[in-house]
Amino acid sequence: MLKLERAITNDAQKLAEIQKASFDEESKHSNNNEMGGPLGYDSISWQEEMMQNCKYFKVLFNGEIIGGALIFIESSQVHNIGRIFIDPNFQNQGIGMKVMNEIERVFPDSNKWWLDTPSWSVKNHHFYTKCGFTKVREEDDLYIFEKTL
C-alpha cells in the first residue's frame, strides 16, 4: 500500500540516503558528466531544514520509506514540486505516477503546478510528460515544466 505522510526529523537520514541513491542512479544514465544531484540531496541537515521550509512528504510503501516529495506553496492555487524522488529499487513500477496523483489529491485547490529538472535528465522529462506536464521554457541547463488542472 502506498501512502504519503509528512516527513519528520527522524526520517531525515533515510530520506537523504534514498535521495542520494535516486539522483546518483539518474546521473549514471544521462549525458551528464558529473555524478550527483541538486543542492542538499545527500545532506541530513538539508532534509531537516526543508521539513521546516516546505511541505515535505515521505513516500511509504507497506510502511517502509521509499521516497519523498517536497512541495512549495506559492499561492493557494500555484504549487511548485521542488523535488520528487523514489528509491531506484522501486522505480519503473508506476509508483511515481501514484505519488503524483496523491500529491494532487492532497492539494485540491491548486490549479497550476510547476517544476524544473535538468536538461540532461531525459528520464525525468518522460516521467513528467506522462504525468501531464508540458515543457514551457528553458533556463540555463534547466527545463521548466507546468501543468494546469
Q: Can you state the angle between helices 44-53 and 12-28, rounded to 10 degrees?
A: 110
C-alpha grid cell for residue 44? 541530513
Provide CB contacts within 8 A for 63, sequence distance 6+.
Answer: none
Domains of the chain: 2-148 (3.40.630.30)
Give the global pTM. Answer: 0.92
Helices marked H in 9-146: 12-28, 44-53, 95-106, 122-130
pLDDT digit string (tens) for the chain, length 149 residues: 999 999 999 999 999 999 999 988 887 766 555 567 888 999 999 999 999 999 999 999 999 999 999 999 999 999 999 999 999 999 999 999 999 999 999 999 999 999 999 888 888 999 999 999 999 999 998 999 999 99
Task: Give the whole-angstrom CA distance, residue 54 versus residue 22.
Answer: 20
